[in-house]
Amino acid sequence: MVKLGVFDLDGTLLTSEGKLPGTFYQDVELLRSRGVTVAIVSARPAQFLFEIFDREVDLLISGEDGNIFYRGKQLLHARYVPADLIARVFEITAKRDDTAVLCTGLNDMYVSAEHYHRFVEWGKGRFMPEEPKDLPENAKICKIHVLCRDGIEAAKRMVSADFAEIRDRGDVSGSGYGWIGITAKDSNKAAAVRFFQQYLNISNDETAVFGDSENDVPMFELTENSYAMKNAPADIRQIVRHVTEDDNNHNGAMKTLLGITLGNEAHGT
């Protein structure tokens, strides 16, 4: 029996317009009343996670690809990127004009003025703080976000080539739209799922996971109850055990969880 449903956000739980399904809070409460906990596992920084949920709800939430953990708005745990790894990422990207770098901690975001303007020019200004803020020494960084101007394929090339040398010190993965996430070693979405499993004393067999991108692959590998979204790229759909019948614009992830946990009862929601 599935007792934990884990959702990626962008391209999975959220619509293409970045909105929650209209019945989200109702569905969460129904699932909870039947002993099923809902968890969110996202690449998003902490600063953006809580903008999504406009009311109090008892959710487990992990951001920064498994580096921060909350129950509701209560911080449970955080991990940080080593200082030498941060310095090396900046060295690798320093001579490129097709990338921009953003560093995020629990409460702060750091981006140089030059890269701030790149983010804005490339249509990602909504992810920026109100003004540029240089990274201070000894800052506690949960994740480094690198944006490739030329999109997903450019990001994949950079992950496999430019950042290959740092894989022994940190985790590097693409998360769609040309973004690359760099975190402490073994801090990925699988680690996030395992944290919540341990927190709840729940097994892999009792867990279902839903995602659509490369950085969801580690958590897909944890359980046979792994679901790629109908709207996921073909290479992602091919490596999971299941694909949802509906896409992210038609509440495909939550409908599937309701179906596998509540059966016929779910049809009334």
- Residue that is last in its domain, among 184, 206, 238: 184
123 & 96 share domain:
yes
Answer whether 236's CB lies under 8 Å from 217's CB: yes
226 & 102 share domain:
no
105 & 32 share domain:
no
CATH number at residue 234: 3.40.50.1000
Q: How many domains does the chain have?
A: 2
pLDDT score for 29: 94
Band (pLDDT 50/70/90 cuts) for residue 45 is confident
Mean pLDDT of 252-268: 82
Answer whether 201's CB lies under 8 Å from 65's CB: no
pLDDT at 205 over 60: yes
pLDDT score for 69: 95
Domain that holds residue 159: 83-184
Answer whether 2's CB lies under 8 Å from 261's CB: yes
Mean pLDDT of 221-241: 95
45 & 63 share domain:
yes
**3-class DSSP state of 53:** coil
- Residue that is last in its domain, among 123, 158, 184: 184
173 & 208 share domain:
no
pLDDT score for 266: 59
25 & 75 share domain:
yes
pLDDT score for 47: 73
Answer whether 181's CB lies under 8 Å from 215's CB: yes
Q: 97-126: per-residue pLDDT in tens?
A: 999 999 999 889 999 999 999 999 999 998
Mean pLDDT of 232-253: 95
56 & 124 share domain:
no
